[in-house]
Structure 1
Amino acid sequence: LQSTGLPVCVGIASSKTLAKLANHLAKQNPALESVCNFNRMSLTAIDAALRDIDVSHVWGIGRHLSQHMHEAGIHTAYDLKVSNAAAMRQKFNVIMEKTVRELNGTACLELEQIRGPKQQILSTRSFGHPVRDLQSLEEAVTLYTTRAAEKLRQQKLYAGSIYVYIRTSPFRDPGQQYDNSLRLPLHVATNNTLHLVQAALVALRKIYRPGYDYAKAGVSLGELVTAGAQQQDMFHAATGREKSERLMHVLDSINQKMGRATVKLASEGLQVRQDWRMKQERKSPGYTTRWEDLLKVD
């Protein structure tokens, strides 16, 4: 990490909420040298530190909820710590009660040793220019579905449904606004780009309305399952599934070796420049992930 220049801070405590606040202090206080260990600090020192932390920095609070906290006279992390846990549950919810107990050193939130499987995969972008025609929307939705399908295969998952949405800018005149979405169940869970794009375009054509300037579109793959949990169809030949798997493997191999979108669906568009694509002229260089973006020193 030192060679990449990425800053890293560590917070240690007896509960998850306190550990996150310790991490916050490690970032803010250079004297701690990026490590804050509440377990080695006295209770008085911890309370003093919590008095200097706004309640909005407590994990799970945020700016919106902190406004209600301020109205209740709770301004700092220490104020929340010394509040009545049962009363906070009655006023807010059980999560708030657990937060108060966590601030007092009682671990109520389990650490996730193994990340659970994803529930959905989302691919969405705002357009570089407003889009009115169906063809441009089809190109965008094809691209987003392709990206989502790639992620699906990387995680060795299969999608049982696909959700497509389009919308205009929320800042336009109310009479010129339109948004709609549609979720389609898939007959058989799949990670085949061709099948997913076909379903996505069916959904898009059902919700598209001409005459509007669309500003954003998105695709979400849901009902994700592993290969072992994939519900098969007695009318869907096993040889067809094997052929699909081989085809997607070849597609991914070519694009990984030769560059993204070397092989793509025609419905994604063949134009070199597509005005609907997101503007990225001011995108920060990928100094640590792209050879082309490495700084050159003469």
Structure 2
Amino acid sequence: MSNPAIAANGLRKSYGDKKVLDGIDLTVPEGTIFSLLGPNGAGKTTVVKILSTLITADAGAAHVGGHDLAAAPQAVRAAIGVTGQFSAVDGLITGEENMLLMADLHHLPKAEGRRVTAELLARFDLTEAAGKPASTYSGGMKRRLDIAMTLVGNPRIIFLDEPTTGLDPRSRHNMWQIIRELVTGGVTVFLTTQYLEEADQLADRIAVLHNGRIAAEGTAEELKRLVPGGHVRLRFTDPDTYRSAATALTHATPDDETQTLQIPSDGTQRELRSILDWLDSLGIEADELTVHTPDLDDVFFALTSTGNAIPDQTKENVR
């Protein structure tokens, strides 16, 4: 088994009296996408800053790219790339000049810098706009340029801190494809995001950060199984049919205002077939049937609400 790309133990960080991180443990396998979720101010960016050597932790230890964060920060920096919440693109110069500047910062020979710049601009569909000032780029183009600049040093681990914030849906989906292609090429991606769909679509594993701790960690499907509340929803248009169904389905939850009934269900095909057979045997025919299973929104709200509804032992089992 290969060494993890990132391994952190007991990371702690406080600013004055405010405890931001209270003992964070993380393991990210090589060549995967790991997503860190959490409310605003939960400490996601602080985790990224610590692991990318921008700030130091008050306590704990971490290895990034096989290098000890405290003992070999320069080696860590050589192995990683960072794209922050706010673009590092200089709007006063062209896209190509931004790329060449990064090549100079990585001490690439002039010819090598121009070759890498041309390849990355083509890869991110920016060749046509390369000679234009970056200030004229759309939000999606700036984000693509930002990541292209991050790749100039050929990092094997990339930290993407909320990379799609402010992008329109099409640009966001384009960015997802870029991230998937990076991982296909063997890069490890550490992604923070406020878009739960983004984590669901991209991440191999997800951790939810709340009150300075990891509230739960697992695959998207594992996390979804933490939350109760899956159900089949029956909607009726005829009041008499609705009342008859509500009387017959004594364990269903009625909503008189919308004339709907909710039947608890885990959403599996077998259980849905059983429910349909049962409804047929009772002569009940709804005008609309929908199946709801918990999604990452449900997980997020359950884990980060004041009254946490998920038992601690269940969360430990997922982790």
TM range (shorter): under 0.3
Q: Which has the higher contact order (CA 8 A, sep 6+)?
A: 2
Q: TM-score, with normalisation over the residues of structure 1? A: 0.26
The structure that is strand-richer by fraction is 2
The structure that is helix-richer by fraction is 1
